[in-house]
Amino acid sequence: MDIHEYQAKEILSGFGVEVPPGALAYSPEQAAYRAREIGGDRWIVKAQVHAGGRGKAGGVKMCEDDHAIQKACEDMFGQKLVTHQTGPEGKGIYRVYVEGAVPIEHEFYLGFVMDRSSQRVMIVASAEGGMEIEEISAEKPDSIVRSTVEPAVGLQEFQAREIAFALGVEAGLVSQMVRTLMGCYRAFSELDATMVEINPLVVTGDDRIIALDAKMTFDDNALFRHPQVAELRDKSQEDPRESRAADRGLSYVGLDGNIGCIVNGAGLAMATMDTIMLAGGQPANFLDIGGGATPERVAKAFRLVMSDKNVQAVLVNIFAGINRCDWVAEGVVQALKEVQVDVPVIVRLAGTNVEEGQKILAKSGLPIIRANTLMEAAERAVGAWRNDLSQATRMRAVT
């Protein structure tokens, strides 16, 4: 789960990371009022969206008076911010963060991520902040400092000092850098985060180390332990299909294809998508309905898949272990009677009670295309989609 910059800064501030004074606003007038509350003679107005690259896309504006602040907000509110991370559909801007400007002497990059190869938290830092880490890696790879944290003891102060020295931090600022590193690590570990990123982390003209921007991502599976973090979720920044799926206990990721997938098990879902592509099609989604493939759960999955207008065929691929194929077949039949599905449906069942499941599908009287293997199911799904597509083309030609 991602959160907004202002939320990440509030969290990190609680762990000892210094941030500039700032306030949230939901209208141009409120933004101007917030600036007066903050004080000073220059302010930064930042669109609050779940994406990087906001500055290049016009989502970050420097303002020197109330008129400029209101103009910047009027240009942002209600618009879609399109960056290299959002894709062409962009992210809606419904709130902005007004922050007092600070004099910048130097910029650093600082990130905490999970490194799968070492199975450790890795700290990635660079003395070349202010740009994306991908750009830093490509243009100035020698500037990157990496350090892994031993989970048994956590980040130690001597390790934080080594990172500060490697970044070339001045001696008088090392203690501040250590405090920042230790605070970020504590936030990362205590709140089950999967990423903490500060870019840029700056040294100001009055010798302070301040986080000018902040991002945090959290492990969805650990949110039950942190209700205060779960409350920060902003559904307006999420794919509505994925949001609906999460609310119903389903794992769903929307894709750009046209063959919908309903599968139990993440590994089988990945294999199903690969096989569809091998057969010449494109999957429309990743959908794992989990181990409890009850009729109600299958019906929810069908509704979710059919909410995507691009879906032109549905492939159901269930391997029944703890489940039983006859239960799943009953669920598919019930779902097709309850949910309006006007595209070809291909069902492949395997595992416990598969014969009984096949009989239920055959006796249902529904136009279900059955398959025995995954490859056969994928080929029939792609074939059914192409057949419907060619029929639609012929109908348009006739009319």
Taking alpha carbons only, the member of 214, 211, 191 closest to residue 201 is 211
Residue 199 annotated as part of some ligand binding site: yes
Residue 160 vs residues 33, 78, 283: alpha-carbon distances, Å: 39, 42, 45
Residue with tokens 């929810």: 300
The backbone torsions φ and ψ at residue 97, rounded to the nearest 5 degrees and listed phi first, read: -115, 125
Residue 54 annotated as part of some ligand binding site: yes
The backbone torsions φ and ψ at residue 245, rounded to the nearest 5 degrees and listed phi first, read: -65, -45
Active site residues: 109, 197
Residue 97 vs residues 18, 129, 243: alpha-carbon distances, Å: 17, 21, 24
How many other CB atoms are found less than 10 A from the CB of residue 168?
11
Where does 102-192 show beta strands of DSSP type E? 104-115, 120-126, 144-149
Residue 253 annotated as part of some ligand binding site: no
Question: Under the phi-then-psi rule, with left for phi > 0, alpha for psi from -120 to 50, and beta for the rest, what region is 274?
Answer: alpha
Interhelix angle for 295-306 vs 240-247, to 10°?
Answer: 170
Taking alpha carbons only, the member of 395, 359, 354, 293 closest to residue 368 is 359
Residue 213 annotated as part of some ligand binding site: yes
Angle at 291 between CA 290 and CA 296, to 5 degrees: 75
* SS3 at position 349: strand
Q: Which residues are annotated as part of the binding site for Mg(2+)? A: 199, 213
Q: Which residues are annotated as part of the binding site for ATP? A: 46, 53-55, 99, 102, 107
Q: Which residues are annotated as part of the binding site? A: 46, 53-55, 99, 102, 107, 199, 213, 264
